[in-house]
Structure 1
Amino acid sequence: MDIEKLFADLHSLPSIPKVAQDLIQQFDNPSSSLESVARNIEKDPVIAAKILRLANSARFRGSRESLSIEDAAMRLGFNTLRTLVLASAVTGAFKTDPSFDLKGFWLKSFQVAGIARAIARQTGLDAEIAFTCGVMHNIGELLIQTAAPHLAGQLNSASGSQSAGGHAAHETLQLGFGYPEVGAELARRWNLPALIQHAIAFQNNPMQAPNAAPLPRVLAQSITVSEALQAHGGATPEARQAISGPLYDGVDLDLLFQALPAILEADKAFAEQLT
């Protein structure tokens, strides 16, 4: 099988609403204003409802309730709004078999995203773009589940306690490609920025990323931390001790682990509201 056949086997490509695609382009335009973005959001009632709900959640709510998209946009700010629009569009794009734990999938994705945001802030990168890359990092796995459920079942039973890199390698051995390549191709077909495509494609091989792009490295770091949290029951001393090596040069791991409990709690609530 090749990636083209995988996409061809889909009855229809999971799609981001046109309003969301327009908004993604608008976010990349330096002349865009919050007012014009809010007007576009109002065109999609599903995304608009999610934005209002999130603006009035405990995480973002101020002293009064937001009653309009424009007010919500002002409260959230440009970067957070960009993240919410893309995340809400992506999480709504897939319909899977009822036996697949879609909510658990997104909770894990948002955990990686929250860690990526924290690392990006430490290292001077755009934290919201890093968060978006985290949300999207294993979107290819979801597409494999959707397009090739018979193969996905075999792969899932064999994955066991494999690391992300090991799972991708096993998929490549069985299918000829892994979820990073599938996710990057989906991001390309969705016309997402090239830096997001590259972050997804090279998450397990960050040193091979074009032009030494930093986001694949941030994703690799975040995924490894997430796996340590899962293996050691949270942000424990044991999880911290399991993380070391040159991959983390430039990252203050002690500072990261001090911040993780609050980050994970906030992003878990965020993911539950969004999905």
Structure 2
Amino acid sequence: MTKLFNSALEFEQAFPQSDVPMMSIGTTHLLKAFAQPNLAIDQLPTILEQSPTIAAKLLALANSAWSAPASPITRLDSACTRLGLNVVRSVGVALAVSSPFNTSRCPNFHAGQFWARTLLIAEATTLLIPCITPPPAIDIGTARTAALFHNLGLLFLVHNFHQETNQAFLRKQTNEDLVLNELLNETLGINTSDAATLLAKKWHLPNALAATMMAYQDMQYQGTEWPTVASVGLAVTAVGAIETQGSFTSPKHPYLTLDSSKLKPVTSQLLRTQVAINQLAQSIRW
């Protein structure tokens, strides 16, 4: 099989700045506003007014069957109150970072499933960090955002190489034991980590987000941002266990230890949250 690229370096050199999907200025503004540590729900309408498309989708979500309001919601502030701060912030970030990518040409990529899993991983990251002992120096808000960004490399590949990624998805559907990144390497010569490295560089992302996108699957990563990277990696492992086994015990990591006595309620909460997040993600036009 002939690969499109012989190395990650060749891949990077093939993509000048003009060929990389870029975030709009409005998206950048929204992400910075949502990153405020003391963000209050009454600030959300003003922030969202700068991004009308995202505001419209959140308003539609507030009126969806998932939200099931007693009467139609027509005001943005009412929609934010209905959805709540965490949903508006998480879904708003997801909508913002997904907007530059066209995934419609890859029929076996399902945006609703992708974002349902990503949102659940963000929730797992938030819940697992307090279980780490001794407590690490991790900003939970940053880690949650990193979780929302962690698999953008896949969106990049779906956008730019829809035929090859569609082929990889088809093969994985016929054999769940196959690893998607290995399938992508076979056809493209690169994988989601290589795409994430390029995307993070072109988007000039903060170190914590860039490192997570590039290394969340690397259990041996010891860079400066390793606590955030490791936390998201743990969350990915935990969600994978929930998807395949219905629960998880204690995800293993060489540099982090979890207090096992705190994990049972986390598992229960994630199982409850999973159903709601799946319904939420299917209610959105990504």
Q: TM-score, normalised by structure 2?
A: 0.72
Compute the displacement of 1:262 (Å): 0.8
Deviation digits for residues 213-250 of structure 1, max 9, x if unmatched?
Answer: 32211221122222223333x33xxxx36x55345622
Written as runs of structure 1 = structure 2, the 5 A alignment for 1:95-110 is: 95-96=102-103, 97-102=105-110, 103-110=112-119
Compute the displacement of 1:47 (Å): 0.8
- Classify the secondary structure of the residue corresponding to 1:7: coil
Deviation digits for residues 6-57 of structure 1, max 9, x if unmatched?
Answer: 635x985334332121122334467988666533421332111123344566
Structure 1 spans left out of the alignment, 5+ residues: none
1:13 and 2:20 matched: yes
- Classify the secondary structure of the residue corresponding to 1:130: helix
Closer/same/farther in 2, CA of residues 212 and 106 from structure 1, 3 Å limit: closer
Which one has the bigger helix percentage?
Answer: 1
Specify the alignment match of 1:195 in structure 2. 208
- Distance in 1 between residues matched to 2:201 and 2:72, nearest whole Å: 38
Aligned residues of 1:181 and 1:200 also touching (Cα < 8 A): no
- Distance in 2 between residues matched to 1:257 and 1:140, nearest whole Å: 28
Specify the alignment match of 1:208 in structure 2. 221
- Distance in 1 between residues matched to 2:281 and 2:163, nearest whole Å: 28
Q: How many residues align?
A: 266
Closer/same/farther in 2, CA of residues 79 and 129 from structure 1, 3 Å limit: farther
Specify the alignment match of 1:271 in structure 2. 281
Closer/same/farther in 2, CA of residues 251 and 181 from structure 1, 3 Å limit: farther
Specify the alignment match of 1:117 in structure 2. 126
Specify the alignment match of 1:49 in structure 2. 56
- Classify the secondary structure of the residue corresponding to 1:22: helix
Closer/same/farther in 2, CA of residues 3 and 29 from structure 1, 3 Å limit: farther
2:45 pairs, out of 38, 41, 52, with 38
- Classify the secondary structure of the residue corresponding to 1:205: coil
- Distance in 1 between residues matched to 2:237 and 2:39, nearest whole Å: 36
1:23 pairs, out of 18, 21, 30, with 30
- Distance in 2 between residues matched to 1:80 and 1:104, nearest whole Å: 17
Compute the displacement of 1:70 (Å): 4.1
Specify the alignment match of 2:146 in structure 1. 133
Compute the displacement of 1:254 (Å): 2.4
Specify the alignment match of 1:161 in structure 2. 176
Specify the alignment match of 1:84 in structure 2. 91
Closer/same/farther in 2, CA of residues 11 and 62 from structure 1, 3 Å limit: same
Aligned residues of 2:35 and 2:141 also touching (Cα < 8 A): no
Closer/same/farther in 2, CA of residues 60 and 193 from structure 1, 3 Å limit: farther
Identical aligned pairs, as a percentage? 21
- Classify the secondary structure of the residue corresponding to 1:211: coil
